[in-house]
Amino acid sequence: MPSSRSTAYGDTHGTLSMPLDTANYQAVLGPSSHADLCRRAVQAIWRSLDEHDLLDEQVRAELARMLEPLSAAPAFGDRPQRLIKILRLPNPIDPSHLYWLTRRLLTLVPDLQAAAVSSKELM
């Protein structure tokens, strides 16, 4: 059961539910939207790690939905897609996958924060 502060119960208002292709990414998400999306993703990642909710399949699915729009952002390469693939694994998640997922989420956070800052500066 996810905690009350997990992404399963969190605010996902404004996130896109389907992935965008790279050509349409900037057209749909302006600098402000991109920064907000990155900021929400960082908050969701930290919340899921703080609450140890990555064991919960529903929380992982919600985090995958939040990362979907970022998979079209050229700056992140294929990292969001690889994370989404592991996040969507059914329970029980293998400990090696959980370890990989935790490390990759932690390394994505600084890039998301930098992208949010640079998007705000473009405004």
Q: What is the reported pLDDT for 32?
A: 55
> Per-residue pLDDT tens for 25-38?
344 444 458 889 99
Residue 121: what pLDDT? 59
Dihedral over alpha carbons 16, 99, 8, 72 (to 10 degrees): 0
- Please state the pTM of the whole predicted model: 0.68
Q: Work out the angle between the directed axes of helices 57-67 and 79-87 (0-180°, nearest 10).
A: 160
Question: Does the pLDDT value for residue 78 go beyond 50?
Answer: yes
Report DSSP letters for 36-83, one per residue.
Answer: HHHHHHHHHHHHHHHTTGGG-HHHHHHHHHHHGGGGG-GGGTTHHHHH
